[in-house]
Structure formats: C-alpha cells, structure tokens
A and B are shown apart, each in its own frame.
Chain A
Amino acid sequence: MFELFGEGLLTALQPYTLILMLIGTAVGIVFGAVPGLSTVMGLVLGLPFTYAMSPAVGICFLISLYIGGTSGGLISAILLGIPGTPSSIATCFDGLPMKNNGRVMEALGMGVVFSFIGTVVSTLALIFISPLLAKVALQFGPHEYFSIAIFAIILITSLAGSTLPKAFFAALMGIGFATVGLSPTDAVKRFTFGSPQLVGGFNTLTVLIGLFAITEILLTSETIKFSTKQEKIEVNMKNVKGFGFTIKEFLEQKWNAAVAAVIGIVIGIIPGIGGSTSNLIAYNVIKSRSKYPEKFGTGIADGVVASETSNNASVGGAMIPLLTLGIPGDGATAVLLGAFMVHGIVPGPLLFKNNASLVFAIFAAMFIGAFLMLIVEFFGLRIFAQVLRVPKYILLPIVIVFTTVGAFALASRTFDVIAILVFGILGYIFVKFKIPQSPFIIGFILGRMAEENLRRGLILSDNNILDFFSKPIASVFLIATILYLGYMLLRYSNKFMKYRYHKY
C-alpha cells in the first residue's frame, strides 16, 4: 500500500504536474474572481485540454482549478460586493462591510486562510472516512431531498434579518422564477409564453449576475457623481503582516470554522448540492448560533469565515461520492467525472482496488492544490487590494462587460444576457424596498429540487404524502422545518402585536 501511496505522490509532485497545477490554480482563481465567469465554466473550458494528458495529470490539473475557483469568488465578493461565483454569495454579506470599514486585508486574509482550512479538513475526511460518508449519500432519495430543500429554504428565509413577509416574498419569488420552463416529471411547459428560450428556464448564474452586479452598478450610479474627492478606501498596509489578522483572531474563529466545515462536507456529499448552497446555509447556521447575531452583515470576520470554510469544504465533500460511488456531488465534479470517463476510468467502489495510485495522486493533488491556492493568493492579496485603486467609474463598467460574456458563454445565447437585465431590475427593486436577496437565491436554487423531489417521492409513495414521515431522515428535516416555522411565525406575530399596540 505504501508503494502505491508513494507512486501517487510522485506523480503529483513531478515538475510537469506541479506547473500545470499552478496554472490550474491561477486560472481557477481568475475564473472564480471575475463575476460572470464561474468555476464550472473554467472546468468545462479546461476539460478538452486534459484529453491529451495522462489521466492522473489531467485530473490533478482540474482539481487545482476547482479549488482555486471555489476560493477565488471571495475576491470580488469582498472588493466589489459582487460574488465571483455562487459559492461566495454569503461572503459578500460581511466581506463588503469589512472592506468599507477599512478592514479589507483582514477580510481577504481570513477568506483565503479559511478556504484553505476548509479544503484541507474535507480532504482529510475524504481520505480517512469516505466509505462511511458515502453511505450518507446513499440514504438520500427523493423524500430526503425534498425535506432538506424545504428546510434549507425556510432556515435561510427566517434568518434573512428582515421582516418575515419580505423574506418570504423573496423566497417565493425565487421559487416562482425557478418554475419557469419544463415542469419536472411531466415536462409541461410553464410560463413560457410560446418562447423556446423560456422553455429552458433561467440559469443560476444569470440570477446572480443580475441580482448583484447590475444592482451594484445601479446603486453606485445613485451617488457617484456627488463624491467630492477620491474616497479611497484606506487600505491600511502598514500594520498588515502575513495574512492581515492575528493568531488570536484566528483562534476565535475555530468553532465557526469547525461547524462550517462540517456543513460544507455534508452538503458536498449530498449529490446535486454543493458550495453554492453550503455557503448560505453555513452563514445562517453560524449566525443563529452566535452570541451576537445582530452584528452579522455589519462586517465581522465570522461571516466571511462561515462562508469560505464551508464552500471549500464542499469541494472535498463533493469528491467523496465522486470517488467512492462514481456519482458527482455537484456541478463541478460532474465535469471531473467526464474527465475520468474519457480516459476509460470509471470512479466507483472498485476505483481504489483497480487504480490505487491514481486515487493517491488525487489525494495528494487536493493538498497540493490547497497549498498552491494559499500561496498564490497570499502573494496576490496585496495585488488584489490594489484593484480598489481603480476608480469605480472605470472598474464597474468593465465588470458588467465580463458578466455579459459569462452569461453568454453559458449556452451561447443572448437570452441569458437579457435575463441578467431582468434580474438586475428585480435586484434593484429588492434593494430599494429592503427585500433580502438570499432567500430569493436559495428559493431559486433549491425550489426546483424541492418540487421535483416532492413529485418523485409522491410517485414512489403512490401519492401518499404521509409516507414522507415514515422515512427517518426526511421526517427529521420536515419536523424541524415545521417546528422552526411555527416558532418564527409566533415570534413574528408577537413582534407585530407589540409594534401595533405600543405605537399608539
């Protein structure tokens, strides 16, 4: 066994592989950082290059791209308030305020280091307990998916930090937009108005771009002409050593990181959901557990840590079902699966037996990729912060251009580019009326999953809805949802009563 481990390690450590991985990491970070371009897109574009490489090298390259891309999103989330990828949505919530408070290096540093930690912890899980964890993936059938989707939506909606009606409105609108297209199971055309483009529905990336990027430029245009002097965000470089925060601050985050990592790993393991969901869930769970939940959103490190640890933990998490069962844990690992199959290797239970050196090479690549990401971003930190020097009136239009390219690149259609305009208008209205965005996004991402699995579960259960409660995992989540919802509604009506009667 040790020889195979050594063999795998050697493959990964060869200069050729290392250089490719460095390139992969850098490319991944760029794709992650630029709003509009995403990790999955980077992987899809990189995939054809790997056909000519040997399987181990090709896959190592893609892994480094995956890790770089997942963490790269934090850069634009913090610097611009626009998530670079769906995995860094929650990073904006506290990352941007931290930048505005002059703590940009700390935010970036925390994000990078905890992305690293998330990757490493999940890789350890992958290496040592993946067979056990894979069994978790197998427990999830339609009933369970429905329950967890509903639970996540309700959780995030109630913690959105806004009044319940608004938060629920956002979530419902998100689910509503997700229903546009072909309905699950019986492929009925819904809300398509005879347009073949709408039959395909909307894409998460276009929602993201519209909701954040377009909204951001519109918000900026409200006041930019009034600025009287270059309001340079003081990038306080003098006292910044290393990653921009102290060991004490680092240790303060250890429980947040632990919880976020676990959430990230579990969500990564469940096939079909990954970093884009885990960052929002981890953020909200940690917020609810926190001693100072009201500070979330004002610019505290906890928010950034929660989001970035979990999204990178989902990387390792998603690799678990991929390698042990041959089932991709999220969109990015689906592309990795393609890379395997092209070389005639099918990941699955026998992968370890038949291809042990490849498996070890992959383990090594995960660690190496994490380190490369850390190193590249460490040196890049100071450079990234310089982006803030570019005046907004030049930077933002360029960002918008990239987002349209990203939208177009999804499927080479201008429909997706028009979609970002639609969601941009929506996003702007939301901000004006203080309607929170995260319930909308989670409703959109998980809405289809919820409906699809509700219907599939009902088919399996012969339309008997009570059957959902006969399944242990499903009923746990459903009951938790009902209880949580009940608790929230009670609190809201209490608050509302006070509001009503004490004002007079």
Chain B
Amino acid sequence: MGNKSLNWENKDTISGIIMLLCGLGYGIMVLKIPGTKSQLFDSRFVPSLISVLILIVGILQTGRGLIAPKEKIEKKEFDKKTVICTFALIALYILFYSSAGFIITTFLFLFLEMNILTPGYVKKNQIVYLVISLFFSVGIYYLFYFGFSIFLPGGLLDTFL
C-alpha cells in the first residue's frame, strides 16, 4: 500500500476545492432569487440544479486529488512579476477606460505594456513604442468616430474632442 495521507497540494485537490467554493457561492446567491411557491420549474430550478451539480463535481474532483500519490512538482519557469504587472495594467486600463477616456488609457496601456513584455535581449526602442501607442490610440478613436459613428469614451479629453 502506498501513502495513506491525503494529498492537499495536488492541483486536482486545489481545483476541487475551488469548485466547491464556486458551487457554494453560486448556491448561496440562488437563495436570493424569489421563488414561485406553486411551481417546481421556476426561475430557481435551473440555478439550484447547477449549484448542486457543481458541488457534486467539486466533491469528486477534490476526492480525486486527495487520494493521488504525492508527486514531486517540477517548477516550471514562471515569471511572476511580468504576469502580475500585465494583469494589473490590463485591470487599470479597463477600470479607467471610461473615466480617463479611450485615448489616454490606450496610449498608456500600449506604451507600458509593450515595455513590460519586451524580452531581455531586445533593446527597447522607446520612440517606436511611443509612435505605435500614439498611432493606435488616436487612430482607432477617430476611425470609429468617423467611420462607424461609434463614440469611444472621451473621458478627460471630452471637451477637446
């Protein structure tokens, strides 16, 4: 017999626990849906069914992960810093999209993100990045304004546009 202890670090276990949390979260929110007393198949039916099924699936998955033998996990090359920076930049870009406006946020996003992603061996040409950022932020804005009559958020530049 192999090891009897439960494997909590296994990816399957972790994903299983995430599933359970999702199922629970969804299930709790389902309780807020007003139900219809006389009917089984009302607006609560499908969401309730889904939350129950997610919980079942979560149990299966967690179980599967827990009984898996402990394996040595190889650490893959993973540049945490870049991922977090990229994610943060995208989040800021999107959250300020409307208030600061499309042109400003797009310009900043493009310029900064290109800088963040450039691999070490490449010499960063800031002029190129600047030109590209400016071209696309202003270009797309006016393309959609004049070409498609879709008005991207002007934000802080609203008074000038």
By a beta-carbon cutoff of 8 Å, the part of chain A in contact with chain B is 45, 163, 165-166, 168-169, 172-173, 175-176, 179, 183, 185-186, 188, 190-191, 214, 217-218, 220-230, 391-394, 396-398, 400-402, 404-405, 408-409, 412, 414, 417-418, 420-421, 424, 429, 433-435, 451, 454-455, 458, 463, 496, 500, 503-504
A224 and B119 contacting across the interface, CB-CB below 8 Å? yes
A404 and B94 contacting across the interface, CB-CB below 8 Å? yes
Q: Of B61, B79, B118, which contacts A165 at CB under 8 A?
A: B61
A169 and B26 contacting across the interface, CB-CB below 8 Å? no
Q: Given the known inter-chain contacts A222-B79, A420-B94, A463-B41, please indicate yes or no for A173 contacting B47, CB distance below 8 A.
A: no
Cα distance, A434 to B65, chains bound together (Å):
13
Q: Given the known inter-chain contacts A397-B110, A412-B151, please indicate yes or no for A225 contacting B82, CB distance below 8 A.
A: yes
Cα distance, A474 to B55, chains bound together (Å):
29
B136 and A173 contacting across the interface, CB-CB below 8 Å? no
B50 surroundings in chain A (CB, below 8 A)? 172, 175-176, 179
B64 and A225 contacting across the interface, CB-CB below 8 Å? no
CB-CB nearest in chain B for A173: B22
A496 and B64 contacting across the interface, CB-CB below 8 Å? yes
CB-CB nearest in chain B for A402: B140
Q: Given the known inter-chain contacts A190-B33, A223-B79, please indicate yes or no for A169 contacting B119, CB distance below 8 A.
A: no
A45 and B15 contacting across the interface, CB-CB below 8 Å? no
B67 and A417 contacting across the interface, CB-CB below 8 Å? no
Cα distance, A396 to B34, chains bound together (Å):
44
Q: Given the known inter-chain contacts A217-B90, A433-B15, please indicate yes or no for A188 contacting B34, CB distance below 8 A.
A: yes
B152: CB under 8 A from chain A? yes
A412 and B90 contacting across the interface, CB-CB below 8 Å? no
> Contacts A166-B15, A172-B53, A401-B110 given; 6 further ones with Cβ under 8 A?
A186-B36, A188-B34, A393-B119, A404-B97, A414-B94, A414-B153
A433 and B18 contacting across the interface, CB-CB below 8 Å? yes
B157: CB under 8 A from chain A? no
Give B41 Cβ to nearest chain A Cβ, in Å.
5
B6: CB under 8 A from chain A? no
Q: Given the known inter-chain contacts A191-B29, A226-B79, please indicate yes or no for A392 contacting B46, CB distance below 8 A.
A: no
Give B58 Cβ to nearest chain A Cβ, in Å.
7
A225 and B119 contacting across the interface, CB-CB below 8 Å? yes
Q: Of A176, A179, A228, A458, which contacts B121 at CB under 8 A?
A: A228
B134: CB under 8 A from chain A? no
Cα distance, A451 to B64, chains bound together (Å):
31
A225 and B120 contacting across the interface, CB-CB below 8 Å? yes
Cα distance, A421 to B53, chains bound together (Å):
26
Give B84 Cβ to nearest chain A Cβ, in Å.
9
> Which 4 pairs across A and B sit closest by C-beta, in order of nearness?
A393-B117, A183-B43, A414-B98, A433-B15
A226 and B132 contacting across the interface, CB-CB below 8 Å? no
A394 surroundings in chain B (CB, below 8 A)? 114, 132
Chain B positions 1-53 with a Cβ under 8 Å from a chain A Cβ? 1-2, 11, 14-16, 18-19, 22, 26, 29, 33-34, 36, 39-43, 46-47, 50-51, 53
Give A2 Cβ to nearest chain B Cβ, in Å.
42
Q: Given the known inter-chain contacts A227-B121, A397-B117, A500-B67, please indicate yes or no for A169 contacting B79, CB distance below 8 A.
A: no
B15 and A221 contacting across the interface, CB-CB below 8 Å? no
Q: Given the known inter-chain contacts A172-B53, A404-B97, please indicate yes or no for A455 contacting B119, CB distance below 8 A.
A: no
